[in-house]
Structure 1
Amino acid sequence: MKKTGIVLMNMGGPDSLDAIQPFLYNLFSDHNIIRIPRPIQKPVAWIISKVRAKKTEEYYKIMGGKSPQTEQTLKQAEALQRELGEDFAVAVAMRYWHPFTEEAVDKLIEEGVDSFILLPLYPQYSKTTTGSSFQEFFNVYRKKQLKQEVKQIDSYHNHPLYIKAWVENIKDELGEDYKNFYFLFSAHSLPEKIIKEGDPYKKQIEETVKLIMEYFPDNRHSIAYQSKVSPVKWIQPFTDEEIQRLAREGIKKLAVIPVSFVCEHSETLYELDVQYGKLAEEEGIKDYRRVKTLQDNPLFISALKELVLKVVDG
């Protein structure tokens, strides 16, 4: 019986305080994200990771000492496995921490898969996320001299079930009062240069938001970007500055929707919940809500299933 291997790709996160520095080192060593000249990238990444780890450790202590992203991604994998059945084998491949891509590939080879489908948990495509994960997979693929067929799912930012999953999460968080909230969609920022080079990420974020807002015609909204990590120019407006602007306009009920994230990690649990929650309170916003990420929302898992089956059916 033929079996298809699903490589479920995500960023990964530290699973302990001791893992913070090596996780950051792996992140800053990725030339797709930080364009340091290659000959010095790893030494510079080591220095940056050592410096940032001390500060970042405080974030993770507030979050319980680790990122929940791995646990939540594994739950997504389990839910997708149940939906797909025994003709498929699903394995999690994290880009910057365990289980790494090579671990996922080894697991699927042990399962006897005849082909691979690369399924990123980045709904909007960027070379810095999906592209980097694909690149890492093919590095492993060539290293192991594999011959199985490989197919890729580049993005699904406009998939109807993905959109409906966000609509459901928004309504679950805000309840019947949802029409009285201003919606601030927050996505991970990128260096502006990458967008100018043709990366579709920003346009796909905007399309995702447009499709979600078709379900909320009475709500005002805007898009902002968070988590800048280097001194180059990044796409704006930044989320904290947008919160301040909305407060000056008199917004009192604000719902922040982390539209580019499907799992919780430091960008949501610390940056949005703690830092920006405090900022909103200081700026006079009376009701600040942060809509949770999709995680194993059944509609989202069904979207992933549909994507896989569409690829299998050609």
Structure 2
Amino acid sequence: MAKTGVVLLNMGGPDSLEAIQPFLYNLFSDHDIIEIPRLIQKPVAYLISKTRAKSTRKYYELMGGKSPQKEQTLEQAKELQKALGDKYKVVVAMRYWHPFTEEALNELFKDDIDKIILLPLYPQYSRTTTGSSFNEFYRVFKKFNKNIPVIEIKSYFDYPTYIQALVENIKENLPDYKNYYFLFSAHSLPEKVIKEGDPYQLQVMKTVKLVMKHFPENEYNLAYQSKIGPVKWLEPFTDKEIERVAKEGIKNLAVIPISFVSEHSETLYELDIQYGNLAKEVGIENYVRIPTLQTSKTFIKALKELVENVKG
């Protein structure tokens, strides 16, 4: 019996210290993220990746020598497969490191597949994340010469079960949440991308508003992290917000990663180590970083519902 293929799309991360430079090369070679003229993009990506690999290596050494994103995404796929059952086949396609899209489709087509659902692990849509993963999927999919329908789940930033998963996750990891200021942290983007019509910022803001309906007594704000390069990016930046709330006398701060569903350098190094140390320096007494959703039962339930509700 033919199955429905479900392709979980994620960014990927280096699975060893040796993988850092090739991972960064793949990232900076992506024209959907960095618009370097195509003729020189790959040589420039090589130079940037060689330079940044040296400075980035220390992050990964502090994280145990690799990003845990691959294992956590594979675990999400395994739990989703269990939830969906035998009528579906779930595979993982990473954008910048193994398992790449081609590896995912080779695995998928070991079975008889009659349609494919693309399910990004980016809840909020951006052309730089979901858009780039979709583009890569279609480039690779052409090579397989399969005449089967492909259905895209573009985003689920306001999907009720996803919001429920976020709310439960905060309450489970912060029982005394009423005593905390909430600082939501999302990956930043160049302002130029937003001005060109990318919906990411509005979708992140909507996710935060929907979550905060469940925490009416808490003060909160949304900030952005992980800026690279000299151009103007979405602000305020997370580190500057930590400094601001400390000046205003906040002693209990919960930082909530809102655009990530698994752990990687932006959470484990930037939020936990870099900003955790900053919080201590500026007088925050209790700094709590809420974990990403990973295999939360309610998050897996949300993914299952999204797949089963697909039309076509």
Q: Which residue of 1 aligns with 2:114?
A: 114
Q: Which residue of 1 aligns with 2:186?
A: 187
- Specify every segment of 5 or more residues in structure 2 that has no aligned partner in the other structure, as ranges: none
Match of 1:99, SS state, is coil
For the residues of structure 2 that align with 1:156 and 1:230, how far apart are their CA atoms? 29
For the residues of structure 1 that align with 2:250 and 2:9, how far apart are their CA atoms? 37
Match of 2:254, SS state, is strand
- AA aligned to 2:25 is Y
For the residues of structure 2 that align with 1:288 and 1:83, how far apart are their CA atoms? 35
- AA aligned to 1:89 is K
> What's the CA shift for 1:145?
2.0
TM-score (norm 2): 0.99
Q: Which residue of 2 aligns with 1:75?
A: 75
> What's the CA shift for 1:250?
0.8
- Tell me if 1:132 matches 2:128: no
- CA deviation map 1:78-114 (0-9, x unaligned): 0000000000000000000000011111111112211
For the residues of structure 2 that align with 1:63 and 1:179, how far apart are their CA atoms? 31
Q: Which residue of 1 aligns with 2:285?
A: 286
> What's the CA shift for 1:193?
0.3
Q: Which residue of 2 aligns with 1:226?
A: 225
Match of 1:79, SS state, is helix
> What's the CA shift for 1:54?
0.6
Identity of aligned residues (%): 67
- AA aligned to 2:143 is K
For the residues of structure 2 that align with 1:169 and 1:189, how far apart are their CA atoms? 23
For the residues of structure 1 that align with 2:227 and 2:120, how far apart are their CA atoms? 22
- How many pairs are equivalent? 312
- Tell me if 1:271 matches 2:267: no
> What's the CA shift for 1:142?
1.3
> What's the CA shift for 1:161?
1.0
Q: Which residue of 1 aligns with 2:9?
A: 9
For the residues of structure 1 that align with 2:191 and 2:138, how far apart are their CA atoms? 27
- Specify every segment of 5 or more residues in structure 1 that has no aligned partner in the other structure, as ranges: none
Q: Which residue of 1 aligns with 2:37?
A: 37
- AA aligned to 1:58 is K
Match of 1:132, SS state, is helix
- CA deviation map 1:163-220 (0-9, x unaligned): 1111111111111x11010000000000100000110000000000000000000000
Match of 1:31, SS state, is coil
Moved more, 21-30 or 159-168: 159-168
- AA aligned to 2:246 is A
Match of 1:117, SS state, is strand
> What's the CA shift for 1:132?
0.2
For the residues of structure 2 that align with 1:248 and 1:173, how far apart are their CA atoms? 26
Match of 2:309, SS state, is helix
For the residues of structure 2 that align with 1:14 and 1:251, how far apart are their CA atoms? 36
Moved more, 188-197 or 160-169: 160-169
Q: Which residue of 2 aligns with 1:151?
A: 151
For the residues of structure 1 that align with 2:43 and 2:297, how far apart are their CA atoms? 43
Match of 2:204, SS state, is helix
For the residues of structure 2 that align with 1:160 and 1:144, how far apart are their CA atoms? 36
Match of 2:164, SS state, is helix
Match of 2:174, SS state, is helix
Q: Which residue of 2 aligns with 1:248?
A: 247
Match of 2:119, SS state, is strand
Q: Which residue of 2 aligns with 1:57?
A: 57
Q: Which residue of 2 aligns with 1:26?
A: 26
For the residues of structure 2 that align with 1:134 and 1:146, how far apart are their CA atoms? 17
- Tell me if 1:302 matches 2:301: yes
> What's the CA shift for 1:268?
0.1
